[in-house]
Each structure stands twice: as structure tokens, then as C-alpha cells.
Structure 1
Amino acid sequence: MKEQTVPLFKPPLLVWTCLACFVQLGIFATSNGFYVWFPSILNSLANHEGDETKICDVLGANAANNNGTVAICDDTVNTMTFQRAILVGLVFCSMYLIVGIIVDLVGKKPILVIVLFAAGLCGISAHLVSNQLAAVSLFAIFQMSGACIGLLTAVVVELFPTKLRAMAVCLSLMFGRVGSVLGSNVIGILLETSCGVSFYLFGGLLIVCSLLCLTLPGKQNKKADKQAVLEPSLNEMHEPA
């Protein structure tokens, strides 16, 4: 294990190790962290009565109502919550299909940069809009960042030598799991105390991750690599049978 771990924290692999771990942590913390609270957010929006308002205003009103001396537990789940959850699931499915179709044509790096940047902007925008349908749609795209977990894992496999790949993938995913735990707890606290900060913080985190992905190597020319492999065999001398 030592032979597989120590080289990851030495130049020139140290930079890629830190980048992979940080980006995985950011993606897991945002997608899984918000997903834990997503049903509660949807239910609060569905049960909101009155004029359309921002997500954090609805959550803040619910928190204010529960600050009395007598706590009232309302476990009512609005059917609209399930409908909107299905919408988010469809967005996830469509995203995985689109990525699977275009990844060989476009490359992993552009998809990572574009998806993470767009998801970060949508996360910040979801806090700013007052229309519920628009807010839920933007929030669904915000959650779409989770589709980049597999892509980043594939990039990690390409970045490291064969004997270190398994450990590099495990290490990055371990940081991702840590991000899930930290993200869900931090978001839960912020939604009650400073709701807007949670959207700005984690939306900005995704944007930072997308900018870091710009440093990744570009798409390799597979045709050139294949030609390089074939050329030696074409130049070999063969004895007649």
C-alpha cells in the first residue's frame, strides 16, 4: 500500500492528486449535500401559500413559525413534492445519456468544465428567482453536477500510471465521501441560519472546480496514438515461410 500511496503525494503527481481530491470533494459536497435536503426544500415550496417568493424566504418563514415555545411537527408531504422530484430524476437521466453520447466526440475536459460551471451558476440563480417552477428547474440543474463524478473518475484513471490508478481513484472517491458528510451537515446548518450563503458558497465551489478542471490535459488524439502503435509492426522484417 505504501508503494502505491506515497508516489501520489510527490511531484509530479502531487498536483493531480490534490486537484482530483478537491474537485471530487466539491462535487460530492454539493450534489449529495443538497440532495439530502432536497425533499424538505421541495415540500416547503409546495406547501407555501401566498405570493411567489424566493426559496430562502419560504424556508425562513417556516423557521420563524417554529421559533415559538411550542414546536409543531408537520409531517404532511405535498403530492407536488413527488412530481418535482421526478422532474429532477429525469434531468439526471437525460444528463447521463447526453454525456454518454457526446463524451467521445467532445472529450471529458470540456464536459466537466461546462457542466460544473453551468451547475454553479444555476445554483446561485436558484436562490435569486421568485418563480417556483424556475427555481426548481434551476435547482435540478444545480444537482446535475453529480453526473460529473464518473467523468472525473475516468479522468483520474488517465492521469496516473497503471500501478497507481486504483489507489488514486480510491483516494479521490474517499475525499468525495468526506465531502458528502461535510456538505450535508454544513448545508443543514446554513439553511436555517444563512440560507442564501449555502447557495452562494456551494454554487461558487462548483465554479471554482470547473476552473480547476481547465488545467486538465486535453483530449488525446487516438488516431495518432493508434498509428504510432501500428508503425513499428509495419516496419518489422519477416522471414519468408
Structure 2
Amino acid sequence: MKNSDNHKSSEEGQDLNEVTFEDAFEVTGHGRFNHLVLFTSGLIMLNVSMESVGVSYVITSAECELRLTDEHKGLVNAAAFIGIVSTSFLWGYLGDRIGRRAVMLPAMLASAIFSIASAFANDVWTLMILRIITGCFVSASSATVYAYLGEMHANTRRAAAIAWGSAFISFSFIILPGLAWLIIPGKWSFTILGINITSWRVFVWSWCAPGLAAAAILFILPESPRFLLASKGPEAALPVLAKMYSWNHWTSADNYPVEKVTTIGDAEAFKTGGFAGALKNFTHIFRPPLLRCVIISHMSMFAVFMLSSGLYMWVPEVINDILQSKSERSISICEIISEKTRNESLARSLSQPVFCNSHVSVGVFPISMAMGAVFAITYLAIGVFINRIGKKALYNGIMFICGVATIAAGFVPQGGAATALLILALCAGCAASILAAIAVDVFPTSLRAMAMCVMYMVGRGGAAVGSYLLGIILQTHCELAFTVFGAFSAGSTLLMLFWPEPQKIRDEMEERGLSY
């Protein structure tokens, strides 16, 4: 009788410990494990941002040494984005096949190596090629990190976690000009391998530190349990959940109360499908009900990056022109740029040598750091209010205000006001994290990394297009450039009127055997 009672009790305990994956995830709690994942993901986003836009502080100081024209500057500014765009699909596929962490860790180490190597470039084409290769490896983390960070948090905390992690992007706009302020004005130089190492080259090395630090921490962090669930089944996810529980509760993983996880969805089909299976799964993205989500989110991300990153690549130079303007009256940004262009054209027409000025006004750096502080406050505010205001309402409000500010920045006849409007306009970059939080909810686990990578590929394409177009037309059609960029960004908010209800998408995709 006693043995029978013990057997019955054991069966009841087993039933209690056999729970769904979401319930098992909730049991892990929220604590230092999640905080470490958030910090590491933040460092990865910081690294992606610094590698993408850091060169904007280099082009002015390297202008004379590398004999850069405005078109060259546009190409160098766009180089990292070209690398990111060209390999996003590959990294998305690999992220969904072999794992989020498995893709990010080696790629981050490789990106640091090529970024450091780019500082040894002696001509514009070598610099551009090495920055493209760097961008190719940076691409592995640029969107995969959002899938990794989101999957390491419960559904109720996912949007806030992505918003808080994205706040680290704003720190790049404080750290980059701060490092540039410390390093670039220096007149020192030294020689390595026969190459004269000047301050801007050392500056390139300095921004690799966050990526290397994040790679070191990733060595001790596990793979996403949601990825393991979708690719290998609940047995593979259970040890990671136990590790999360032990870290959050300061106890042994053996004390994790869940013994078995049940799940919905045909994980086995995804696991054994190979490349053909991955392509078959990927076709879900371009079929209803996900097709509408793809069109809206990708066009929106293009607008976000075209304005924020594309314009940002030129802001240090524009601010430098404002600070060096000798005009005795208040004139707009476009008038300052036109005046500079006329002076250079006049000198050429008179066969006078055009003096190459690689001097960067010191005032550029504190203004850029103030810009970063505004971004940081905006990101932190998003983290606080995203669940209160709503993701779509917050996204639309930010993009519309930033679009209007962009148009105004080109016409305001006062340098200080124009600079303030530029800073406000560039806050559009903060909307990318909200858009990622909106999009990540509708894509199944087995498609999430690829879908996010493709979305960010389109976004980085917008940055490359924006940066290159400004390099071509900013001097000749300045007012038109600001107007088009602003109107396109503000108008893109209309797309969100057609965004579907996420739960309906999830229900329909789960009926097809794809899990979340």
C-alpha cells in the first residue's frame, strides 16, 4: 500500500512538472541572467552602431591624407552598410539554422580584425573594401541580436527589453564623439609596418572595444532556448531554462522544478529540413498573412535608416561647416553649404589651388555628444513608455515629428536652431527599436532571425542610399534633399495604419505548425 501511494505521488509530481514551454520560461524568473543578456546585447548593438557610423568622424580628418572627394566620402560612409546589406540574408539563414549565439560570436571577432586592418589603409579604395568586409561580419549581429535578446525574455517583457537594449545604440553617439575629441585633434604619429599611424587610425581601433567585450561575455552565455526548442526540441531547451533559473534564483540548476516541457508546432520538420526546408519555411514570409507585415515593416525600416543613419553620416561635416562659416549674418545650413561650394568652384575657375582643410572644429565633438545624450534620453523614455503608450502610437509620433524637423532644418536661418532641429531629426533612429519590437512579435521562432536580418538589410540599404544621395546632391540641391528626406520619413507612418493584429498572425502560423 505504501509503495502504491509513493507511485501515485510520483505520477502526480510528474504531471505537475510537465508544463508548456511558456510556463517553463516564466518559472525561470527575471534577474541577473536577463540583466547580463541585456547588457551583452546592448554592447553588441553599440558595436554595430559604432562600426556603421564611426567613419563619419574619420572622413574629414582623413580627407587630405587619402585625397577624398565628396563622392569618395559618400562611398566610404556607405561602405559598412553595403557589407551589411549584401550578407544579411546569409546571416539570417545561418542564425535560424545553427543558432543566434553560434553566428554572432565568431562574426564579431572577425569584424574586429577587419576593422582594425582598415585603419592601415593608405588609399580610399583599400579603406572602402575593408570597411565593406567589416560590414559583412557586423551584419551577423545587426539583426540577429534582436532575435536573441527577445527570445531570452518572456513575452510580457520582450518589447521593453528590446527598447532598453537599443538604448546602448544612443551611447555610441556619445562615446564616438568623445573618443574622437580625445584622439583625433592630436598631432602625434608613429610608424607600424612602414605605415604612418595618425590619430584617425587609432580612433578606428578604439571603437572595436565594445564588440570584443561582448564576444568575451558570449562565451559564457548559452544559446537561445526558443531557438533550441524550435530546432532540436524541448529536451535541448530544458538545460538552458534550468541555467536561467539557477542564475536568477542564485541556486543550483538541479533545483529547477520543471522536469519536462511540452510544445506546440512541428519542430522536427524544421530540424530535418536542411537548406531546402529552410527555403520552404522562408517562403512563409512572402505569403499571407506575413507578407503584409514584411512589406510594412521593411518599407518603414528603410525610411528610419535613410533619415537617421544616412543623414547622420553627414552631420559631423555639416556641423563643422556651420562652425567654420565666416558669414556675419544668420544663414541657413543650405546657404552655408552653397557658399562653401561657390568658393571652391571659384578657386578652381581661377586656376587657384584649392587648399585641403582637414581641420575639424573642436566644437563638433561636444555638439555631437549632446546629440548622443538626447538620443539616450529618448531611448530610455521609450523603454519606460512603450508599454503604456503602445508601440505603434509611439513609433508614429517619433517618425512624424522627426520628419517635420528634417524639413525645417534645411530652411531655418540660424545655425543654432538648425543644429537643434538636426538633432531632433536624427532621433528617428530611436524608432528602429520600436519597429523591431513590433515586428518580432509576428514572426515564428524558426523564421525570426532571417526575417529580422532581411528587415535590417533593407534598413541598412536605406542608410547606404541616403548617405550616397546626400553626397551627390547636398551641395547642389540642399533644400530639396532635406524636404524629400523629411517628407518620406513623416509619410511612412501611414503604413502603420495597415498593420494587422499580431495574435491573429500567431494563431494562423501556429496552425501551420510553426511555434513562437
**Conserved 8 A contact 2:442-2:502:** no
Change (3 A) 1:170 1:207: same
> Which one of the candidate residues 55, 59, 62 is aligned to 2:340?
62
1:191-237 CA distances to partner (integer Å, 9 max, x unpaired)?
A: 122111111111011112222123335798xxxxxxxxxxxxxxxxx
Distance, in Å, in 1 between the alignment partners of 2:453 and 2:301 is: 11
Partner in structure 2 of residue 38 of structure 1: 315
1:60-209 to 2 correspondence within 5 Å?
60-67=338-345, 68-69=347-348, 70-209=353-492
Contact persistence 2:470–2:481 (CA under 8 A)? yes
Query: Is contact 1:113–1:214 with CA below 8 Å preserved after alignment?
Result: no
Give the match's secondary structure for 2:314: helix
Q: Distance in 2 between matches of 1:86 and 1:58?
A: 23
Q: With structure 2 as the length reference, what TM-score do the two structures score?
A: 0.41
Partner SS, residue 356 of structure 2 = coil
Tell me the distance in 1 between the aligned counterparts of 2:342 and 2:282. 50
What is the rounded CA distance, in whole Å, between the counterparts of 2:462 and 2:333 in structure 1? 24
Structure 2: distance between partners of 1:89 and 1:105: 25
Q: How far is the alpha carbon of 1:175 from its aligned partner?
A: 0.7
Retained in 2: the 8 A contact 1:27–1:149? yes
Question: What's the TM-score once normalised by structure 1's chain length?
Answer: 0.86
Deviation, structure 1 residue 177: 1.5
Deviations 1:19-62 (A, max 9, x none): 11111111111111111111100000011121110000000101
Asked whether the equivalents of residues 30 and 183 of structure 1 are also in contact (C-alpha less than 8 Å), the reply is: yes
Residues of 2 paired with 1:52 and 1:91: CA distance? 25
The alpha-carbon distance between structure 1 residues 102 and 144, as it changes in their structure 2 partners (threshold 3 A), is: same
CA contact (8 A) 1:108 1:219 kept: no
Partner SS, residue 192 of structure 1 = coil
Greater Rg by CA: 2
Shift of 1:163: 3.1
Structure 2 unaligned regions, length at least 5: 1-277, 504-516
Q: Take 2:481 and 2:501, find their aligned partners in 1: how far apart are those partners?
A: 32
Alignment of 1:19 onto 2:296: yes
Structure of greater relative contact order (alpha carbons < 8 Å, 6+ residues apart): 1
Matched residue SS, 1:214: helix
Residue identity opposite 1:126 in structure 2: A
1:167 CA displacement:
2.1
Question: 1:162: how far off?
Answer: 3.6
Alpha-carbon distance in 1 for matches of 2:502, 2:386: 10
Task: Check the 8 A contact 1:52/1:132 in 2, yes or no.
Answer: yes
- Residue by residue over 1:51-109, the C-alpha shift from the partner in whole angstroms, topping out at 9 and shown as x without a partner, is 11000000010111111323221122222222211221111111011111101111110
Match of 1:227 in 2: none
* CA deviation map 1:94-140 (0-9, x unaligned): 10111111011111101100000000000001112112111111100
Provide the C-alpha distance between the structure 2 equivalents of 1:99 and 1:214, rounded to a whole number of angstroms. 21
Distance 1:87 1:196 in 2: 25
CA distance in 2, matches of 1:85, 1:48: 18
- Separation in 1 of the partners of 2:427 and 2:325? 25
Q: For 1:125 and 1:26, how far apart are their aligned partners in 2?
A: 18
Q: Is the 8 A contact 1:107 1:219 kept in 2?
A: no
Larger deviation, residues 95-104 vs 161-170:
161-170
> Match for 2:288: what amino acid?
P
